[in-house]
Amino acid sequence: MKSGQASPAAAIGQIKRNWGLYLLLLPAVVLTLLFAYKPMYGVLIAFKNYSPALGIDGSPWAGFKYFDKFFNSYQFSNTIKNTLIISVYSLITFPIPIILALMVNQMRPNRFRRFFQTVSYMPHFISTVVMVGLMMILLSPSTGLVGNLYSLFGGEAPDLMGSTSLFSSVYVWSDVWQHVGWDSIIFIAALSSVDPSLYEAATVDGASRWNKVRYIDIPMLMPTAITLLILRVGGLLGVGFEKVYLMQNDLNITSSEILSTYVYKIGLLSSQYSFSSAINLFNTVINFILLIMVNQLSKKLSENSLW
């Protein structure tokens, strides 16, 4: 009898015996149904002329009207371009936490290493609001640290928070500053699981430290890195709302309006529910397709995949 190929009767027996486990699952299942799956049904309003009085089911169908409206609006190419610029730019910084992890792994396990790690995680705990507030203060050309630095060397500081051309750089590099230490944890973990006898064997063979990094550490990190990379690409159009929204101002708006902030403004600030949902759905679908494509590709190339 193979236990893997359980018959329905055996399955029912198993469910009866393990009813406690289903009880443990119940809260999470109920909450997910109510707050994740029920809104999925609400996605229908993207294809309807939603009116609150009529409800989702009662509202008349609109077909692809709101998708057309979005594709033909001047915000279409602009928001997509901005979203892509920011997310591809962030993607390029993906190896930085890996480099940091390789470095930490080379440090002897002593006080310096512990201090280094503690400090490098620290900025991760700053909230987005405080982070953007910090950036406004420090990057201010008149009163901030950057302004002071420039005037120390007799230069004129650029207005980093109010620049359209520098918006993506400010966004991405401040993100690297804040999260690089934290993001490296997972790679440090992967490195800590390397069998020490590999290093010993390499030492006997006369490998230098650099060789060990190159031929042991980096290959060991690849599966983790690829998995995370797939997830990142799957969220390519999903650049976080929070930080961009807080960083937006009248000066940088042409390069800081991204899909998620646009969805928020159209939907909640000007109450065009159907239009906003259509933009959101477009965004989700593209991400989903990207995720599947990248996963497929990675399966072929490296036998790493999410499912």
Partner 1 sequence: MGVLEPAASKRTGKIKNNRSSDSVMEIIMYVIAILFLIILIYPLYFIVIASFSDPSAVAGGKVWLFPSGFTLDGYQELLRHKNIWIGYRNTILYTVVGTAIGLVVNISAAYALSRKDLAGRKILSLFFIFTMFFNGGLIPTFLTIRDFHMYDTFLVMVLPFSVGVYNIIVARTFFQTSLPGDLWEAAQIDGCGNLRYFLQIVLPLSKAIIAVLGLWIAVGYWNSYFNALIYLKNPNMYPLQLILRNILITNQMQSGMGSGEAAQIALRLANMMRYSVIIIATVPIMCVYPFVQKYFNQGVMIGAVKE
Measured CA distances, 124 to 134, 173, 224, 283, 295 (Å): 13, 14, 21, 27, 28
| 214 scored as a contact of partner 1 (CB under 8 A) | no
The only residue of 206, 300, 301, 303 in contact with partner 1, by rule CB under 8 A: 206
The only residue of 119, 201, 253, 293 in contact with partner 1, by rule CB under 8 A: 119
Applying CB under 8 A, the span of 26-34, 58-66, 73-81, 162-170 interacting with partner 1 comes to 26-34
Both tokens of residue 42?
């609400």
Count residues binding partner 1 (CB under 8 A): 96
Partnered with residue 48 across adjacent β-strands are: 61
To which H or E segment does residue 193 belong? none
The only residue of 70, 234, 244, 298 in contact with partner 1, by rule CB under 8 A: 234
x/- map, 241-280, partner 1, by CB under 8 A: xx---x--x-------------xx--xx----x--xx--x
The only residue of 116, 141, 162, 305 in contact with partner 1, by rule CB under 8 A: 116
| 141 scored as a contact of partner 1 (CB under 8 A) | no
Return all residues near 129 (Cβ < 8 A) that are at least 6 apart: 246
| 193 scored as a contact of partner 1 (CB under 8 A) | yes
| 199 scored as a contact of partner 1 (CB under 8 A) | no
Whose Cβ is closer to partner 1: residue 74's or residue 125's?
125
Measured CA distances, 213 to 5, 101, 141, 175, 188 (Å): 44, 11, 42, 27, 13
> For the stretch 232-249, what's the b/e string if a residue is b when 16 or more beta carbons lie within 10 angstroms of its beta carbon?
bbbebbbbbeebbbbbbe
The only residue of 151, 169, 254, 302 in contact with partner 1, by rule CB under 8 A: 151
Q: What is the DSSP letter of 213?
A: I
Q: What is the DSSP letter of 124?
A: G
